[in-house]
Amino acid sequence: MASLLRTCTAASLLLATAAVSMANATATTIQLVGHAFAQNEDTLLYSERHQQTFNGEKLINHSVTYENTDGKTIAEKTASYPHQASVPQFEFNDLRSGARGGARYLSDNELELYSRKTGNDEIKSGTITVRNDTVVDSGFDRYVAANFSKLLAGDAVKIRFGLPGRQTDYKFVVTKPERIVFLGRQALRATIRPASMVLNWLVEPIQLTYDIESRRLLMYEGVSNLKADDGELQTVRIIYYPEQNPSLFSPGSPR
């Protein structure tokens, strides 16, 4: 009996080890870099260094290091995707001012949004209900990927955008996109803007340019989550050059 128990235990350990090995074998880590320029200028403001970990096609973790033009780290962001792909749990920290913002799950469909402007401020928070069309932070990229066929067909896509700085969510629409050539590639350019005319006066639209073949983001245009050195909001163009990120635009890379 003892021998049989040892045999079963050993077999269970082997199966568990094999399962872990199989899980690890499907994990893929991708690194990419984006460069943020001042709007309508070629002045480099900062760079983003991303690291994404996928399990098969599912994005599990995402970290970003923000560097100034001297290569010094000035901000960091970490994100995970425990539930809905378009609604990551994340935290952003500005190492210069102590500004902080993010989102964390209170339950499967309840999300807390929080932020503070400086390290001396108290954190303000609010709670939203996670719906099928909810989008938070970089989750917009996952949502666009899931709805890319609709965008290619020229359809508008509606979302609810959760804004940690306002501790609530608002209705936005991804307007009818246009096909363009960008960085020598066939691309799709779409604009995310508030559905409310009133909110249009308060929130700047975001413009996204995607490579059609790989369905990867080539450029983001809009307000940055990283403020300028003087603490003011800044509007940027963040470009992800294909030649600097070859793995993102090659066949077989997870999307």
pLDDT in tens, 131-189: 999 999 999 888 988 888 888 888 888 899 999 999 999 999 888 789 999 999 999 99
Kindly list the domain boundaries of the chain, sorted by start residue: 27-72+132-249
Looking at the predicted structure, is the pLDDT value of residue 199 above 80?
no
Highest mean pLDDT among 33-42, 56-65, 72-81: 72-81
Looking at the predicted structure, is the pLDDT value of residue 26 above 80?
no
Percentage of the residues of the chain whose pLDDT score is greater than 90: 61
Q: Residue 24: pLDDT band by 50, 70, 90 thresholds?
A: very low
| CA separation for the pair 72, 9 (Å, rounded) | 51
Q: Residue 231's Cα: distance from chain center in Å?
A: 23
| CA separation for the pair 127, 162 (Å, rounded) | 10
**If you average pLDDT over every residue of the chain, what do you get?**
86
| CA separation for the pair 136, 59 (Å, rounded) | 15
Confidence (pLDDT) at 198:
66
Confidence (pLDDT) at 16:
41
Confidence (pLDDT) at 6:
41
Residue tagged 């100034």 (tokens): 68
24 residue type, one letter:
N
If you count them, how many residues does the chain have?
Answer: 255
Q: Residue 200: pLDDT band by 50, 70, 90 thresholds?
A: low
The H or E element spanning position 206 is strand 206-211
Q: Name the residue among 232, 110, 94, 229 with its Cα closest to residue 162.
A: 110
- pTM, two decimals, is 0.86
Q: Name the residue among 65, 50, 98, 110 with its Cα closest to residue 248.
A: 50
Confidence (pLDDT) at 63:
97
Confidence (pLDDT) at 106:
96
Q: Residue 69: pLDDT band by 50, 70, 90 thresholds?
A: very high
